[in-house]
Amino acid sequence: MMELNLSGAPDADLIKDSDEASFMQDVVEASQTTPIVVDFWAPWCGPCKTLGPQLEAAVKAAKGAVKMVKVNVDEAQMIAGQLQIQSIPTVYAFHKGQPIDGFQGAQPESEIKAFIDRVVKSAGGEAPGEQLDEAVAAAEEMLAEGAAADAAQTFAAILGEDPLHAGAYGGMVRSYLALDDLDQAEALLNGAPIEISNAPELEAAHAQLELARQAADAGPVAELTAAVEANPEDNQARFDLAQALYANGDAEAAVDHLLDIFKRDREWNEGAAKTQLFTIFDALKPNDPVVLNGRRKLSSMIFA
């Protein structure tokens, strides 16, 4: 089991309020050692009430690689004028006493995280997003090597740091699929945060779950192959054979049989062959040769 070493400064040391009297010390001088993100806000500013907590969460996730100072512009009009702040919320990042990045207005959570990553990297630190991505890569390696239980624990630890990390969430679902715990995998997918529910990583995990459910009911390959050879026009037998082949790890042959059905009768069983093809494509990696070749062949048939 991999240990995540993401410890850092206590939250109380990361975020503070400042004003004109202490701005030089809290921001300009403090940024000589650690980049400082300054949130210019006001009590009457609606978007500030959303951005502020999101920014605080991203700063805390950086575990001390960046700190945050909050400045009420109503009480710091001279500072706001010097920095030419035209509207709020406005966010500036300072390093070595100088502004190095910034933005105005409310932002999606993903953009806020990307901003914090940029600030940390520009100051020579390791961005929290990169740190978590490295942990995800290590967990994926565990999963590929068959250590699904350890992978699931590592993915869970990553989600403890960032509950909206789609890569880690999808990886945890696939870990339970590898452990043959389909019910737990389905429960995780059903309980996914709305912000990442449509992420490609979760779409892939959902497709893999659907295929795993099918695999439990798949027939024997030898018997189905014989049935198809005896009657090549039997689309149902060919469809069942494709499911059995995929369940036995032969995705390429499964795709070939589904393409054969589509070529013979694209509307058979309400377009079941095309639907199954897309499920397989979603379950595999986008750059998998089976996906690339299958999509190309399917497109040529559709637009022929």
Question: Would you state the pLDDT for residue 124?
Answer: 77
Catalytic residue, from 6, 45, 80, 136: name it.
45
Rounded to whole angstroms, what are the CA distances from 207 to 58, 213, 214, 276? 31, 10, 11, 10
Q: Is 77 exposed, middle or buried (0-12, 13-18, 19+ CB in 10 A)?
A: exposed
Specify the DSSP element, H or E, that contains 296: helix 289-302
**Which residue stretches of 2-45 are H helix?**
23
The 3-state DSSP class for residue 103 equals strand
Strands 98-104 and 67-72, how do they pair?
unpaired
Q: How far apart are CA 126 and CA 83, in angstroms?
A: 28
Question: Would you state the pLDDT for residue 134?
Answer: 85
Per-residue pLDDT of the chain (304 residues; tens, 9 = 90+): 444 544 444 555 899 999 999 999 999 999 999 999 999 999 999 999 999 999 998 998 888 889 999 999 999 999 999 999 989 999 999 999 999 999 999 988 888 988 998 998 888 766 666 778 889 999 999 999 999 999 999 999 999 888 888 999 999 999 999 999 999 999 999 999 988 898 899 999 999 999 999 998 898 999 999 999 999 999 999 999 999 999 999 999 999 999 999 999 999 999 999 999 999 999 999 999 999 999 999 999 998 7
Question: Would you state the pLDDT for residue 163?
Answer: 87
Question: Would you state the pLDDT for residue 2?
Answer: 44
CB atoms within 10 A of CB 147: 17
Q: Annotated catalytic, 48? A: yes
Question: Would you state the pLDDT for residue 6?
Answer: 46
Residue 195, CB-side half-sphere exposure with 13 Å CA sphere: 9
Catalytic residue, from 48, 59, 120, 228: name it.
48
DSSP secondary structure string for all residues of 56-71: HHHHHHTTTSSEEEEE
Strands 15-18 and 36-41, how do they pair?
unpaired
Q: Annotated catalytic, 267? A: no
**Which residue stretches of 44-194 are H helix?**
46-61, 77-82, 109-122, 128-144, 148-161, 166-178, 182-190
The 3-state DSSP class for residue 21 equals coil
Decide: 48 and 74 in contact? Cβ < 8 Å: no
Decide: 80 and 73 in contact? Cβ < 8 Å: yes
Query: What are the contacts of 258-263 at 24+ separation with CB within 8 A?
Result: 259/294, 259/297, 259/298, 259/301, 261/235, 262/298, 262/301, 263/301
Cis peptide before 89 (omega within 30 of 0): yes
Decide: 96 and 37 in contact? Cβ < 8 Å: no
Which pTM was predicted? 0.64
CA angle 186, 136, 252 (to 5 degrees): 65
Rounded to whole angstroms, what are the CA distances from 286 to 206, 208, 290? 15, 14, 9
Query: What are the contacts of 149-155 at 24+ separation with CB within 8 A?
Result: 149/175, 149/179, 150/1, 150/2, 151/175, 151/178, 152/176, 152/179, 153/1, 154/1, 154/2, 154/4
At 103, give phi and psi (nearest 5°): -160, 165
